[in-house]
Amino acid sequence: MAATLIELCGLISSSVATVDARCKAMSCTYPNLNDPAISKDAARLLEDSEVSRATSIALAAASQLIATMQYPSRVIVDTSLGFLLSAALGVVAASSTAEIIREAGPEGCHINDIAKKNGMDPAKIARVLRPLATQHIFREISPNVFAHNRVSAVLDTGKNLQDILAAPEDKHHGAIGYSALVGLNTDETFKAAAYIQDVVLKPNAENEEDEFNTPLNKAFNTHIDLFSWYELPENKMRFKRFGMAMDASRRMSPLGPPSQGFKWASLPGNTLIVDVGGGIGSVSLEIARRNPCIRFIIQDKASVVREGQEHWEKTLPGAMESGKVSFQAHDFFMAQPVKNADIFVLRFICHDWSDSYTLRILKHLREAAQDTTRLIVLEYILPFACAEDETYRHIPGAIPPDPPPKPLLANKGIVGMVRYLVDMQMMVLLNGCDRTFPHYWNLFREAGWEIEQVYHPAGTQDQLIAKPI
């Protein structure tokens, strides 16, 4: 009997029925894959909590159904060649093909016309677009004529091709799409990943002793960290793109509203939050807008501090003048200068570094903490592909709520795949890593912190709340 197949099909069917019911209740039409644009009503539908949950179950079930029914050899071979799809995506993004196709209109653009504008070989344009179209990224609407769909439209910066050609270094500045993120993933990450075997097959002790023995270091023949590498003159364009890519990632995973996760609004007036390695203070800014009585110190490199001050002056005028926020140049591998913090915040800092370097950061914060200080770490917690470790069930939130129905994987399969890919990206670029909850628990304990609560806000990073031991 094909019991598992029937169960998986049942989950897909019931999930689609839920989406259909929500479409009727909200008087919305589910967005068409072939339509590049998405209406406000359709966007609201996709953000609906019932639709979001049903979509997750349907995607997990569909992926598991394919894995179950596909020939194992095909799964392995297709996966081993998957990097070529990334390469194709990189070519499209770097050549402004998405913008050219958009300017051509809904009738699409012939490869010869694309070639006239970006200088590529027409045949090679087709050879990178066709496998993408087969993956439902772009549409081939007639032989060698390609048009956008709802997926490929995400690659479009929304800018005029002539403006891009006139100032290519500004291509990603203020872009509405995610082209900068694609550039980061298909340029430095992609090239560095080719050297991953050269690093990970060596004993772990060797890698821990040398933080700069990363695939990126081998790929680009350098022996400095990623951020110092970005500051080299020849990487000026990559550095600007990286900043835009991080902005795009924040738009994909914005800080949830105050009602989700940690209750920022419950903090007493004059609470002091120190945003360690906070960049231009994007997270603090979102909290500050909703909680005017909280004070902030945002720490980062001196060059970033100047950018942050300008950003706050434009977006929340008067905040610095009133003393609500201040900026401080600080290296988080050095002793923490603020000794009266109520809360230390680390957002996507720990995953940039190996355990030995992350311990340095956490220990400096512990040494500066008061008994009442709390540490809030915003990171993605990697779930196991099996049932979670029951050892930590006594800690609120340590076991993620709402487990998926059987026979789905405990981590919802493909729905959460991006977390594992980002973890590997950290290994490739920085010798860093994302971590499972037991990994975080042991790391925090070694640094003098104890996790007392975990929040899992929908659509954004997890929040680990820790107190001094």
Residues noted as catalytic? 351
C-alpha 388/C-alpha 382 separation (Å) is 10
Amino acid of residue 10: G
Q: Tell me the backbone φ, ψ of residue 450, rounded to 5 degrees.
A: -125, 125
C-alpha 397/C-alpha 376 separation (Å) is 14
Helices (H), 70-211: 72-80, 83-94, 97-104, 111-118, 122-134, 161-166, 179-186, 188-193, 196-200, 204-209
Q: Kindly list the distances between the CA atom of residue 154 and the CA atoms of 93, 157, 195, in Å, as whole numbers in the listed order.
A: 11, 8, 29
C-alpha 64/C-alpha 47 separation (Å) is 24
- DSSP 8-state code for residue 405: P
Closest to 39 measured CA to CA, from 49, 47, 29? 29
C-alpha 377/C-alpha 366 separation (Å) is 13
Closest to 352 measured CA to CA, from 221, 216, 231? 216
